[in-house]
């Protein structure tokens, strides 16, 4: 595996380690039950998030950044309102 491939995977793993703590801190009352990403080299990354809240969760945004890029991107994830 090339050095740049290892950097991408390492960056993704580090992001996943720190993301749950950041999500909980930013959104009081929301509990992140599961937060993971499955990476299939040179094909796709599948993100999984399970969260609960006393209030209705109406919007989910995914923020991501590729290794070597300075700017992060975000997408709104289609979701049905739930708790």
- What are the boundaries of each domain within the chain? 3-77
- 20 pLDDT band (50/70/90 cuts)? low
Residue 4 makes CB contacts below 8 A (sequence gap 6+) with: 67, 68
Give the pLDDT confidence score for residue 45 in this predicted structure. 86
What digits encode the pLDDT tens for the residues 27-69? 568 898 998 888 888 788 888 889 898 888 888 888 888 888 8
HSE value, Cβ hemisphere, 13 Å, CA-based, for 80? 0
Cα 6 to chain center, whole Å?
19
pTM metric for this prediction: 0.56
DSSP secondary-structure letter at 32?
Answer: E
């Amino acid at each position: 595996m090339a050095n740049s491939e290892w950097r991408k995977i390492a960056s993704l793993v580090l992001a996943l380690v720190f993301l749950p703590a950041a999500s909980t801190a930013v959104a009081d009352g929301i509990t992140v039950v599961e937060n993971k990403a499955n990476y299939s080299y040179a094909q796709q990354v599948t993100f999984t998030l399970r969260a609960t809240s006393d209030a209705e969760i109406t919007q989910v945004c995914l923020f991501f950044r590729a290794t070597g890029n300075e700017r992060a991107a975000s997408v709104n994830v289609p979701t049905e309102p739930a708790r």
